[in-house]
Chain A
Amino acid sequence: MNEDLSVFGVDPWWLIGIKTVVIFGLLVLTTLMTIWGERKILGRMQHRIGPKYHGPFGLLQSLADGIKLALKEDVVPSAADKVLFFIAPVITVTAAFATFAVIPLGPVIDLPFTDRVTPLQLTDLSVGVLYILAIASVGVYGIVLAGWASGSTYALLGGLRSSAQVISYEIAMGLSLVAVFIYAGTLSTSGIVAAQDDVWFIFILAPSFVIFLVSMVGDTNRAPFDLAEAEGELVGGFHTEYSSLKFALFFLGEYINMVTMSALATTLFLGGWAAPWPLSMWEGANSGLWPMLWFLGKVVGFLFFFIWLRGTLPRMRYDQFMKLGWKVLIPLSLAWIVAVSAVRVVRLQGGIDLRWIIIAGVVIALAVLALAFIPEGADPQEGAETEPVPFDAFAGGYPVPPMPGQQSPDLPPMVAAAAATGGPNDRQDAGPDAGQGAHRA
Chain B
Amino acid sequence: MTGEFDVPKVEYALVLPLLVVFAGALIGVLIEALAPRVWRYQAQVGVAVSTLFAGLAATIQVGVGLEPLAGDVAARGDVVVEGALVVDGPSVFLWGVLLVLSLISVLLFAERRLEGGLTSFAGQAAALPGTDAERQASTRRIEHTEVFPLLMFAIGGMMVFVAAGDLLIMFVALEVLSLPLYLLCGLARRRRLLSQEAAMKYFLLGAFSSAFFLYGIALVYGYAGSFDLAAIDQAVSASTAGTPLLLAGIALIAVGLLFKIGAAPFHAWTPDVYQGAPTAVTGFMAACTKIAAFGALLRVFYVGFGGASWDWRPLIWIVAILTMVIGSLVAITQSDIKRMLAYSSIAHSGFILVGFVGLYAGSPAGEGLTSLSSVLFYLTTYGFSTLGAFAVVTLVRDAGGETTHLARWAGLGKTSPVLAGAFAFFLLAFAGIPLTSGFMGKWMVFAAAWAGGAWPLVIVAVLTSLVAAFFYVRVIVLMFFTEPGVDGPAVAVPSALTSSVIAVAVAVTVLLGVVPGPVLDLAQQAGAFVR
A and B touch in the complex (CB under 8 A): yes
Contact surface of A with B, Cβ cutoff 8 Å: 1-3, 5, 126, 186, 370, 373-374, 381, 385
In the complex with contacts A373-B34, A381-B36, A126-B136 CB distance below 8 A:
no
- Which residues of B118-143 have CB atoms within 8 Å of chain A's CB atoms? 124, 133, 136-137
Say which size band chain B's interface belongs to.
under 10
- Chain A contacts for B133, CB-based, 8 A: 385
Taken together as a complex, chains A and B put the C-alpha atoms of A199 and B314 apart, in Å, by: 69
Flag whether B2 is at the interface (Cβ < 8 A). Answer: yes
Contact partner of A126 (CB less than 8 A), chosen from B1, B34, B36, B37, is B1
A264–B454 CA distance with the chains assembled, in angstroms: 68
Knowing A373-B34, A381-B37, say if A2 contacts B136 (CB, 8 Å).
no
Q: 1/0 contact trace for B2-37 toward A, CB 8 Å?
A: 100000000000000000000000000000001011
The residue of chain A having its C-beta at the shortest distance from the C-beta of B133 within the complex is A385
Other 12 A-B pairs with CB < 8 A, given A3-B1, A370-B34, A385-B133: A1-B2, A2-B2, A3-B2, A5-B1, A186-B1, A373-B34, A374-B34, A381-B36, A381-B37, A385-B124, A385-B136, A385-B137
Minimal beta-carbon separation of B1 from chain A (angstroms): 6
Taking the closest CB of chain A, its distance from the CB of B123, in whole angstroms, is 11
Which residues of the partner chain A approach B137 to less than 8 Å between Cβ atoms? 385
| B contact residues around A385 at 8 Å (CB) | 124, 133, 136-137
Complex: A199 Cα to B400 Cα, angstroms? 73
Bound-state Cα–Cα, A381 to B32, Å? 12
**Distance A92 CA – B34 CA, assembled complex (angstroms):** 43
Nearest 4 interchain pairs by C-beta: A381-B37, A2-B2, A373-B34, A126-B1
Residue of chain A at shortest CB distance from B38? A381
| A381 contacts across to B, CB distance below 8 A | 36-37
Most buried by A among B1, B36, B124: B1
Chain B nearest CB, measured from A2 CB (Å) = 6
Which residues from chain B contact A374 at a C-beta distance below 8 Å?
Answer: 34
How far is it, in angstroms, between the C-alpha of A126 and the C-alpha of B1 when the chains are bound?
A: 8
Cα of A370 to Cα of B36 in the assembled complex, Å: 15
**How many Å lie between the Cα of A5 and that of B1 in the bound state?**
10
Report the separation of the CA atoms of residues A370 and B137 in the bound assembly, to the nearest whole angstrom.
28
A370 to B31, CA, bound (A): 12
A5 to B37, CA, bound (A): 57
Of all chain B residues, the one with the shortest Cβ separation from A186 is: B1
| Chain A contacts for B2, CB-based, 8 A | 1-3
Pick 7 A–B contacts, CB within 8 A, sort by A.
Answer: A1-B2, A2-B2, A373-B34, A381-B36, A381-B37, A385-B124, A385-B133
Chain B minimum-CB-distance residue to A187? B1
> Please, which residue of chain B has its CB at the minimum distance from the CB of A1?
B2
Interface string of B90-128 (1 = CB under 8 A from A): 000000000000000000000000000000000010000
Q: A223 to nearest B CB, angstroms? A: 35
CA distance A126 to B2 in the complex (A): 11
Measured CA separation A374–B1 after assembly (Å): 43
Q: Which residue of A lies closest to B127 (CB)?
A: A385
Report the bound CA distance from A126 to B137 in whole Å: 54
List, in ascending order, chain A residues with CB within 8 A of B124's CB. 385
Shortest A270–chain B CB gap in Å is 25
CB of B54 to closest CB in A, whole Å: 21
Contacts of A1 in B (CB 8 A): 2
Q: Tell me the complex Cα distance, A25–B124, Å.
A: 59
Q: Please report the C-alpha to C-alpha distance between residue A397 and residue B2 in the assembled complex, in whole angstroms.
A: 68
Nearest CB of chain A from residue B27's CB, rounded to whole Å: 12
**Which of A3, A126, A374, A381 has the most B CB atoms < 10 Å from its CB?**
A381
A3 to chain B: which residues have CB within 8 Å?
1-2
A393 to chain B, nearest CB (A): 26
A328–B136 Cα distance when bound, in Å, is: 34
A126 to B133, CA, bound (A): 54
The residues of B that contact A2 with a CB separation of less than 8 Å are 2
Which residue on B lies nearest to A373, using beta carbons? B34
CB distance from B263 to the nearest CB of A (A): 43
Residue on A nearest B136 in the bound complex, by CB? A385
B36 CB, min distance to chain A CBs, angstroms: 7
Minimum C-beta distance from B366 to chain A (A):
46
For A5, the closest partner residue in chain B by CB is: B1
What is the CB-to-nearest-CB distance from B4 to chain A, in angstroms, rounded to a whole number?
A: 12
Q: Mark B67-97, 1 if CB is under 8 A from A, else 0.
A: 0000000000000000000000000000000
Return B141 CB to nearest CB of chain A, in Å. 12
CA gap between A2 and B2 in the complex, in Å: 6
Q: Which of B2, B36, B124, B133 has the most CB of A within 10 A?
A: B2
Tell me the bound Cα distance from A5 to B2 in angstroms: 12
Q: Give min CB distance, B511 to chain A, whole Å.
A: 45
In the complex, chain B residues whose CB is within 8 Å of the CB of A186:
1
- B1 proximity list for chain A (CB < 8 A): 3, 5, 126, 186
Task: Determine the distance from Cα of A186 to Cα of B2 in the docked complex, in whole angstroms.
Answer: 9
Write out the residue numbers on chain B whose beta carbons fall within 8 Å of the beta carbon of A373. 34
Looking at the assembled complex, report how far the CB atom of B339 sits from the nearest CB atom of chain A, in whole angstroms. 36
Bound-state CA distance A1–B2 (Å) is 7
How far in angstroms is the closest Cβ of chain A from B346?
A: 41
* Contact digits for B299-319, partner A, Cβ 8 Å, 1 yes 0 no: 000000000000000000000
For B140, the closest partner residue in chain A by CB is A385
> Inside 8 A of B34's CB, which chain A residues have their CB?
370, 373-374
Q: How far is the CA of A268 from the CA of B487 in the complex (A)?
A: 77
A residues near B37, Cβ cutoff 8 Å: 381
Task: Give bound CA distance, A2 to B34, whole Å.
Answer: 46
Alpha-carbon separation in the docked complex, A85 to B145 (Å):
48
Q: Which residues of A contact B36 (CB under 8 A)?
A: 381
A385, B135: Cα distance in complex, Å:
12
Closest chain A residue, CB of each to CB of B34 = A373
Interface residues of B in 31-81 (CB under 8 A from A): 34, 36-37
Report Cα–Cα, A373/B31, bound state, in Å: 12
Min CB distance A350 to B, Å, is: 17
User: In whole Å, how far is A95's beta carbon from the nearest beta carbon of chain B?
Assistant: 27
A201 to B133 CA separation, bound complex (whole angstroms)? 53
Q: In the assembled complex, which residues on chain B have CB atoms less than 8 Å from the CB atom of A5?
A: 1
Cβ of B408 to closest chain A Cβ, rounded Å? 36
Beta-carbon nearest neighbor of B124 in chain A: A385
What's the Cα separation between A370 and B35 when bound, in Å? 12
State in angstroms the CA–CA spacing of A374 and B34 once bound together.
8
CB proximity of A385 to chain B, nearest CB, Å: 7
Of residues A5, A370, A374, A385, which shows the largest number of chain B Cβ atoms within 10 Å of its Cβ?
A385
CA distance A385 to B127 in the complex (A): 11
- Shortest CB-to-CB span from B122 to chain A, Å, is 14
How far is the CB of A348 from the nearest CB of chain B, in Å? Answer: 13
Task: State how many angstroms separate the Cβ of B326 from the closest Cβ of chain A.
Answer: 46
A370 vs B37: C-alpha distance when bound (angstroms)? 18
Residue of B nearest to A3 (CB): B1
The chain B residue sitting closest to A185, CB to CB, is B2
Minimum C-beta distance from A378 to chain B (A): 11
The distance in angstroms between the C-alpha atoms of A2 and B3, with both chains bound, is: 10
Bound form: Cα–Cα A385–B34 in Å: 17
Name which residue of chain B comes closest to A191, CB basis. Answer: B1
Contacts of A370 in B (CB 8 A): 34
Give complex CA distance A381, B36 in Å.
8
How far, in whole Å, are A399 and B400 apart by their CA atoms in the complex? 48
| A429 smallest CB distance to B (angstroms) | 42
Instruction: Give B137's nearest chain A residue, CB to CB.
Output: A385
Q: Considering the chains assembled together, what is the distance between the CA atoms of A269 and B315 in angstroms?
A: 62
Cα distance A385–B137 in the bound complex, in angstroms:
8
Shortest beta-carbon distance from A369 to chain B in Å: 11
Docked Cα-Cα span, A2 to B124, in Å, equals 56
